[in-house]
Amino acid sequence: MSFLEMTAVRKGYGPAGSRTEVLGGIDLSIEKGEFVAIVGFSGAGKTTLISILAGLLAPDSGSVRLNGKEITEPGRERAVIFQNYSLLPWMTVFENVALGVDQAHADWPAARRREHVEKYVAMVKLTQARSKKPGELSGGMRQRVAVARALATDPEILLMDEPLGALDALTRATLQDEIERIWEEDRKTVVLITNDVDEAVLLADRIIPMTPAPAAVLGPSVTVDIDRPRDRKSLNHDPRFKSIRNGVIEFLLQKRALRTSPTRTPAPATV
Amino acid sequence: MMGSLLRRVRWDALLLPLVGIAAVVALWAIISTTFSTSLPSPAKTWETSKPYILSPFEKRGELDQGILRFTFYSLVLVAKGYALAILIGTPLGFWLGLSKLFTKAFDPIIQILRPVSPLAWLPLGLVLFGKSHPAAVFTIAICAMWPTVLNTALGVRAIPQDYLNVARVLRLSRTKTLFKVLLPATLPYMFTGFRLSLGIAWLVIVAVEMLTGTPGVGGFLWQEYNSLVYEHIILCIGTIGIVGFVLDRMMSLVEARFKAA
């Protein structure tokens, strides 16, 4: 039995009759310490998938098990990084991170919790900005706060829902490198949801393509057998990088072509 | 450049309002000499009101006191009713915002009670409490409560789902979710409600004082009408307006602080 196991998970929205099936039977298994990227188009149902893993949504059918236990609600062992950061704007950087720590480590003395918060604020290089409110920070800095808030609760598994989707390309690259650096330190289990195939290849051990909604399912997973730490400059010339990247993109485009023109045979994807 | 800018600002912010006031006073003067001669002229009003304005805190007798002393009495009564309105209105608003069931059950009755005039509530207050003071507080509270209730409910409903997700994912306790997430997220709406409620509380006070004969600006106004000192009616109207304006400005400043945060 894997660390995280999803079997035949279905989820739809809307009243019976006009119901849209978003997830049409998701099977997924992830081992402890694995960094898995789920790649799909916008609107493929990726956020629904991560909300189910987070315990914010209940599946209509199927089972989701973590450590052999059914997921029914948010839990201490899972942390979520949302696409839109979801920081509380009336709290400082420190307070936002402390909010999670105070709850997760309620049994610690106050001084130890404080130290713990400082440690994670420093990890994402925001010690200078610790007393600032989210409104005074750039998008990249805000997402760093969200990363610190999630990691500081010491989760066993980190769920990231397009964490860098709203950032410009340069900030995105910097944060990708930082996520890799931070992950190298303690190799937590990570599920990264993204629409950026390059990002997935750069960060993940395994990439799983997701077919577009309605009734999204996961495609065959691709192992990224490129040594870490991965350097984005040399990666561009790595033949394995190209073949993995093209393989994933081809799969996604084929599936989409099938969706959009079911009567015609899909044109061969050229990327 | 700087000088001309300064002159422009002065012109807009100070002189224009003065022009407006002068126009209304002129109209008042014209009406008092032509259309209705029983309306005291501006000059006569000033002459008769002078002792009340120039020694505003003097107490010459129960019903003959400086205008700010009367204002103070009114403000104390308003403060009591307003405090009660906020104490009841805020939690009620939270319940309405949080529970669809509660909204379905109580929204219709709230919409029915909301437009009822203070003149209608006061007799009921007198029946309920027997004495005029608690009846006055009751009337102010029940009339002033609604903007706080409705705006708080609106604010709670407008809390972004993201914040609620954060609270759930971090597994915050109910109390913590309320004080760290729901309350701060609703605060700007609540203060809009508080400001509107204060405006109503100040509106209601005059009616309440008139009916109960309580000493205060409204009570003084009614008594002077009965004593045929019409100049003081205008003095009271001016005072009520200015105090209401100052209260609203003060609340706006507080509100803006929370909006900016």
pLDDT in tens, A89-119: 999 999 999 998 998 898 999 999 999 999 9
Report pLDDT for B84: 95
For A28, list phi and psi in degrees, rounded to 5. Answer: -155, 135
Which whole number is the average pLDDT over B1-6? Answer: 57
| Average pLDDT of chain B to the nearest whole number | 85
Hey, which of A11-20, A24-33, A175-184, B36-45 has the most confident mean pLDDT? A24-33
Q: By the CB < 8 Å criterion, does A79 face chain B?
A: yes
Determine whether the interchain pair B162/A86 forms a contact, defined as Cβ–Cβ distance below 8 Å.
yes
Structural domain includes residue A261: no
**Residue keyed to tokens 């899972």:** A78
Alpha-carbon span A128 to A111, nearest angstrom: 20
Determine whether the interchain pair A100/B170 forms a contact, defined as Cβ–Cβ distance below 8 Å.
yes
Determine whether the interchain pair A56/B166 forms a contact, defined as Cβ–Cβ distance below 8 Å.
no
Question: Higher-confidence residue: B38 or B129?
Answer: B129
Report pLDDT for B261: 53
Determine whether the interchain pair B166/A103 forms a contact, defined as Cβ–Cβ distance below 8 Å.
no
Percentage, residues of chain B above pLDDT 70? 92
Alpha-carbon span A151 to A158, nearest angstrom: 8
Asked if this assembly's ipTM is beyond 0.95, the reply is no
Task: Return the SS3 of B140.
Answer: helix
| DSSP assignment of A151-206 | HTT--SEEEEESTTTTS-HHHHHHHHHHHHHHHHHH--EEEEEES-HHHHHHH-SE
Structural domain includes residue A176: no
Task: Return the SS3 of A229.
Answer: coil
> Residue B139: which residues within 8 A CB-CB, separation 6 or more?
B81, B118, B121, B122, B125, B204, B208
| Average pLDDT of chain A to the nearest whole number | 86
Alpha-carbon span A58 to A96, nearest angstrom: 27
| DSSP assignment of B62-102 | TTEE-HHHHHHHHHHHHHHHHHHHHHHHHHHHHHHHH-HHH
Determine whether the interchain pair A99/B169 forms a contact, defined as Cβ–Cβ distance below 8 Å.
no
Are B183 and B177 in contact by the 8 Å Cβ rule? The answer is no
Structural domain includes residue A132: yes
Structural domain includes residue A126: yes
Question: Higher-confidence residue: B6 or B249?
Answer: B249
Structural domain includes residue A150: yes
The residue segments making up the domain with residue A91 are: 87-154
Task: Give chain A's domain count.
Answer: 1
Alpha-carbon span B80 to A242, nearest angstrom: 74
Could you tell me the CA-to-CA distances from A213 to A12, A47, A49, B88, B224 in Å, in that order? Answer: 10, 11, 11, 48, 76
Report pLDDT for A264: 44
- State the best of A86, A105, A159, A162 to mutate against chain B, taking most chain B CBs within 10 Å: A86
Structural domain includes residue A184: no
Which residue in the set B162, B168, B261 is minimally distant from A90, CB to CB?
B261
pLDDT band at residue B11 using 50, 70 and 90 as cut-offs: low
Hey, which of B41-45, B107-111, B220-224 has the most confident mean pLDDT? B107-111
Which whole number is the average pLDDT over A7-16? Answer: 87
Cβ under 8 Å to A: B residues 173-192: 173, 176, 180-181, 184-185, 187
Structural domain includes residue A10: no
Structural domain includes residue A19: no
pLDDT band at residue A271 using 50, 70 and 90 as cut-offs: very low
Report pLDDT for A262: 47
Report pLDDT for A265: 46
